[in-house]
Chain A
Amino acid sequence: MGGRDQKIVKKLEKKIVKKGFPDVKISADEGIVRLNGRVNLWSEVITIGYLAAKTKGVKGVINDVTAGEIERKGEEKKVTKRGVYENVSLPKRADVVIVGGGVIGCFIARELSRYKLDVVLLEKESDVACEATKANSGVVHSGIGESSGTLKQKLNVKGNKMCDKVCEELNVPFERDGLLIVITTETLPPKVRKVLPSFISNFICEKIIPYVIFRKGKKAGIPLRPVKREELLEMEPNITDKAIVGVYSPTYGVVYPYEITIALAENAIQNGVKIALNTEVEDILVEDGKVKGVLTDRGTIEAEYVINAAGIFADEVAEMAGAREFSIHPRKGSIIIFDKDMKGYINHSLSELILPQDPHTKGGGIFTTVDGNPNWGPDAIEVSDKYDKSVTAEEIDTIFECGSLLPDFQKSSLITYFAGLRAATYEEDFFIKASENVLGFVNVAGIQSPGLASSPAIAEMVRGILREIGLKMREKEEFNPIRRAIPKFSNLSIEEKKKLIKENPLYGNVICRCEHVTEGEVVDAIHRPLPATTVDAVKRRVRTGMGRCQGGFCGPKVARILARELNIPLEEVTKDGPGSNLFVGKTKSLLAEEA
């Protein structure tokens, strides 16, 4: 430990050990702090991590402190991943291996597919976009919610501008519906409201706060426009009476996060990238401080460059390489989704400004998906378990409070709710760096909101890092940025529908009553470059089961089509990959077992 590190440890001992956590051991190496030991509560683990991260001189926090209260730990039962789940044979070597098929991994894969490189992306699940990406709100933030000067803000502002072109190339819908930041009678903290005369608090809400937000945007290059009350009510007639004024952010938009990720993966495959699903990384092979390859549960791949885009598991993958400089503490976010017959109830995304703001999350809001389903949320809950994607009763209540901006909204139009885990670090900024200890290993970690909006800029940045650390990149002339989408029957005109059915009669068989999805679309999804092999994979591609009946009608039909197209018995169809079987056997099979 160098002198500087000793100073850090001393400071931290004062802050942590002497403040009620005597069992926490602290060490530091080149500004990377390592914490070990045991405390009572998970919330204390989090507190300790933040205390360390905020200390001067600390570059990264590895927080391995455990808590006594950990309630549940997800366990992975060993399941077979062969058969339909082996979508490609695993190559023996590659120039670059990307670990993780979320939006970040897939964006990097597509970015690298522009060059003459052998790129392999490894994904442990049976589809891309299965973890944080699929539970993401899909919001393409403008950057106004981020602290000035962070990497997050810089990449968010840049990435937001890149989204139109990428979405056009990939043929995925992107709606810039804009965000209204709403300042209400509850924006100022109750304590402040109590002591200030109302004309002063009104002045703060009407003039000062919008001006501060506007200035912050101007500094970061984010277009914003203050909105007076009359205009606010015109823009959003259903908004609460407690709304005072607003600030409009026109560059804010929405995509489907899984759709863009699947499109990126397909386009990458089109341009030569290999995506191996159901392939779990077990070790990163390192020799003499250099990356040599990746050991997976399906064999070894030699490679000199490995990109860690493992999201919630990025710290574990970094540890395998001996290149861990951070900890990921999962922060759960749940979202409630409502029926699209509420489309048009709001015209823009809405976010109520409540001061003081939570430093670690922008908090929940109200937004509308591309198809018009209102969404409320997400909330933000620190959890100890990287597999805990449950939505609790308390969370449902909290999210319903997001809707206080729309007092007359029909909550009974709720369709479903879901949760995902943000891959938060204690530094609360993106961690995108080549490892100094392990040559060829690049961490792309701590990517939480606004990760989706930043993803195009992150991919570009990673390309730059790879070049800096010695990867030779020569452009491919034949690179094709255009990805053809599966035709969406429900969006077509009558004439287009007629034409499509004539070309392929399967488009005349509507199998989903809520979203009007046809058999043609499902069959297409199953035979795409990145095949959909599960009910959920089909759902993410064509929306079967996303409507108000939640698969009650289409579920059996989708399962049957999957069995037919994959040439497997119906009872082997799964919801989302090995271990998630829909059935336990054919009828009479349990009786036969008993006998």
Chain B
Amino acid sequence: MIEVDVAIIGGGPAGLASAMKACEEGVKDILIIERGMELGGILLQCIHDGFGTFIFEETLTGPEYAQRYIDEVKKTGINVKLNTMVLEIDSAKRIIAVNQEDGLLEIEAKAIILSMGCRERTRAQILIPGDRPSGIYTAGVAQRYINIEGVIPGKKVVILGSGDIGMIMARRFTLEGAEVEGVYEVMSNPGGLTRNVVQCVEDYEIPLHLSHTITNIRGRRRVEGVTVAKVDSEMRPIKDTERFVPCDTVILSVGLIPENELSKSADVGMDPITNGPIVDEQMQTSVPGIFACGNVVHVHDLVDDVSKVAEVAGKGAAGYIDGKLKKRRSPIKVRAGRNVKYVVPQIIHGEKFDEDIRFYLRVKEIEKSVKTVVLADGERIFEKKIKIVKPPEMVKLDISPDILNRITGDELIIDVEGEEDEEKP
């Protein structure tokens, strides 16, 4: 049995930043457990740029961004176990992991930080009918093949889903000399960041078909083509708009799912909307001493946000160990209100707040000229005007302690109010 102060599950951006913060806060014995052969997680295959504009105020590639943290980690006494898969975690914070050198590892941690990231939604999970030939890949897998393994999955590509990775892969395939026939998006608006629509799709003259989906995949051994169709307002395919598109590859960028099998094995309480653990303002889960950060909690748009929130978890874990962490009194539930899909953290605690709390929220629908409003006991304790909100772009609200300390009652509601609501007296 190995005993550590903080065990961090996953050495991607969330794990790295939380480890650094815990170390800064004075935690001695930190162990990062990473299943890959290197630290950095998914960043290692993201060789495009655009990372780090907030944290480092310059634009880096994924591996460069990861390396900044890896270099820092190496200067500290943080322990790292690579090529190590965690098989199980329990609520007593015991971890079973395995690798080739050590064999089976039994680890007991005073605190655990969950930073396992997310996985991609697959073809079947969105119920695309048809054959099951070779040539159907999720965007992240295709990205790994091209950028890490050095092989090209196909020559003529149809992409379903305009999430960020989907659009980035549209450009990547094009740069490799493959033909991207089009990017098809079932929603009436692009699923990813505007900058990716411009830089990855429009700049390369790749057709982006909004309100379209794939209704059939055909191919006996390898993909031979797909049927695409327009969808109506309820996202049902319109039969007479169906069109067959010959291709040899289908790339899917149809959503990410926080990867929480280990969280569940530790009995961590889950939020059915985010598919991640319910966390408080310290990023602590329902199990005392187990923290979570990054895409395992909810899917972020920018790695900078992941790093930032991971520091909160690292600090929280440090505080938990030396007993400084605020006692969990008077929990206040944070609820998603009008045009808000979810809010993280879902719970905040405290009689007296002495630090800003950053709330992350995702809206349900595009809306222009809105106001985000925080209501406590019917009282508007915070308002902020925003030009436009859209589902692909997370809204961040930093709320200061003097506002937080005005909260009475045990519930906060965060609304996004549209122009019309504003006109009401």
Contact = CB atoms under 8 A, between A and B. Distances in A.
Contact of B141 (A76, A390, A509, A552): A552
B308 interface: no
A391 interface: yes
A412 B85 CA distance: 27
B398 interface: no
A576 to B, nearest CB: 7
Given A549-B119, A585-B152, A590-B152, A509 B145 contact: no
B176 A570 contact: no
A590 B153 contact: no
Given A506-B100, A509-B99, A555-B141, A584 B149 contact: no
B48 interface: no
B149 A560 contact: yes
Size category, B interface = 35 or more
B119 A417 contact: no
Interface stretch (B72-80, B125-133, B354-362): B125-133
Interface string A242-284: 0000000000000000000000000000000000000000000
A564 interface: no
B119 A588 contact: no
Contacts of B178: 590
B144 A582 contact: no
Interface stretch (B214-222, B294-302, B312-320): B214-222
B134 interface: yes
Nearest to A391: B129
B138 A552 contact: yes
Given A552-B141, A580-B134, A586-B150, A501 B35 contact: no
A498 interface: yes
A587 B176 contact: yes
B130 A510 contact: no
B108 to A, nearest CB: 15
Nearest to A591: B177
A501 B122 contact: no
Nearest to B177: A590
B151 A583 contact: yes
Interface string B179-211: 000000000000000000000000000000000
A505 B120 contact: no
B406 interface: no
Contact of A393 (B102, B138, B215): B215
Contact of B132 (A389, A414, A415): A389
Contact of B104 (A418, A497, A590, A593): A497
A550 interface: yes
A508 B134 contact: no
A579 B222 contact: yes
A575 B146 CA distance: 17
B307 to A, nearest CB: 23
B224 to A, nearest CB: 10
B176 to A, nearest CB: 6
B83 A509 contact: yes
Contacts of B135: 582
B124 interface: yes
Interface bracket on A: 35 or more
B215 A553 contact: no
Contacts of A387: 220
Interface in B74-113: 83, 85, 87, 96, 98-104, 106
A579 B215 contact: no
Contacts of B152: 583-587, 589-590
B98 A553 contact: no
A574 interface: yes
B248 interface: yes
Contacts of B151: 570-571, 582-583, 585-587
A390 B149 CA distance: 31
Interface in B211-238: 215-216, 218, 220-222
Query: By CB atoms of chain B within 10 A, which of A391, A395, A588 has the most?
Result: A391
Contacts, number: 153
A3 interface: no
A553 B96 CA distance: 20
A559 B150 CA distance: 13
Nearest to B99: A508
A212 interface: no
A162 B133 CA distance: 36
Interface in A501-520: 501-502, 505-506, 508-510, 513-514, 516
Contact of A582 (B83, B134, B176, B215): B134
A583 B249 CA distance: 10
B165 to A, nearest CB: 12
A438 interface: no
Contacts of B153: 582-584
Interface string A142-185: 00000000000000000000000000000000000000000000
B124 A510 contact: no
A192 interface: no
Interface in A410-430: 412, 414-418
B104 A390 contact: no
B140 interface: yes
Contact of A508 (B103, B132, B149): B103
Contacts of B218: 390
- Select the residue from A396, A412, A575 with max chain B CB neighbours within 10 A: A575
Interface string B146-187: 101111111100000000000000000000111000000000
A357 B266 CA distance: 46
Interface in A540-591: 548-553, 555-556, 559-560, 570-571, 574-591
A533 to B, nearest CB: 14
Which 8 A-B residue pairs are closest in the complex by CB-CB distance?
A: A590-B177, A575-B134, A510-B85, A579-B221, A416-B124, A580-B221, A508-B100, A580-B134
Given A506-B100, A576-B134, 7 more contacts: A390-B129, A391-B132, A416-B124, A556-B141, A575-B134, A579-B221, A584-B153
Interface of B: 35, 83, 85, 87, 96, 98-104, 106, 119-120, 122-125, 127, 129-135, 138, 140-141, 144-146, 148-155, 176-178, 215-216, 218, 220-222, 248, 259, 261, 264
14 contacts: A76-B220, A498-B104, A502-B103, A508-B102, A509-B100, A556-B141, A575-B134, A579-B222, A580-B221, A582-B134, A583-B152, A585-B151, A586-B151, A594-B177
